[in-house]
Amino acid sequence: MTNRVAKITEIALVFTAALVIILVFARPASQEHLIHNQVVLWFANVLMMLVVVAGVLLRGEKISSLGLSFELVTVRSLAKFIGLSLLVFVIATAFYILGSAIMINITGLPQQADMSSYDYMKDNPAMLAASLVGAYIAASFGEELIYRGFLITRITELLNIKPGVAISTTISAVIFGLVHYNWGPAGVVQTTFMGLALGICFIWLKRKLWILIAAHAIMDTILIVQVYLSIN
**In terms of C-beta distances under 8 Å and separation of at least 24 residues, what long-range contacts does 9-18 make, across chains too?**
10/55, 10/154, 11/151, 11/154, 11/155, 13/51, 13/55, 14/48, 14/51, 14/52, 14/55, 14/146, 14/150, 15/48, 17/44, 17/47, 17/48, 17/51, 18/44, 18/45, 18/47, 18/48
Domain of 215?
Answer: 3-230
Q: How many domains does the chain have?
A: 1
C-beta of residue 193 within 8 angstroms of C-beta of residue 170: no
Helical spans, DSSP H, in the chain: 3-25, 34-58, 75-107, 125-135, 142-143, 151-159, 164-178, 184-204, 209-230
CA distance readout (Å), 76 to 79, 81, 83: 5, 9, 11
Rounded to whole angstroms, the Cα distance separating 88 from 158 reads 27
Can you give the pLDDT of all 232 residues of the chain as single tens digits?
A: 568 888 899 999 999 999 999 999 988 876 677 888 888 999 999 999 999 999 999 888 999 999 999 888 899 999 999 999 999 999 999 999 999 899 888 877 555 555 667 778 888 899 999 999 999 999 999 999 999 999 999 999 999 888 889 999 999 999 999 999 888 888 899 999 999 999 999 999 999 999 999 999 999 999 999 989 887 7
C-beta of residue 207 within 8 angstroms of C-beta of residue 196: no
C-beta of residue 38 within 8 angstroms of C-beta of residue 135: no
C-beta of residue 191 within 8 angstroms of C-beta of residue 177: yes
Rounded to whole angstroms, the Cα distance separating 100 from 198 reads 17
Rounded to whole angstroms, the Cα distance separating 125 from 199 reads 33
pTM: 0.92
Rounded to whole angstroms, the Cα distance separating 147 from 150 reads 6
C-beta of residue 140 within 8 angstroms of C-beta of residue 216: yes
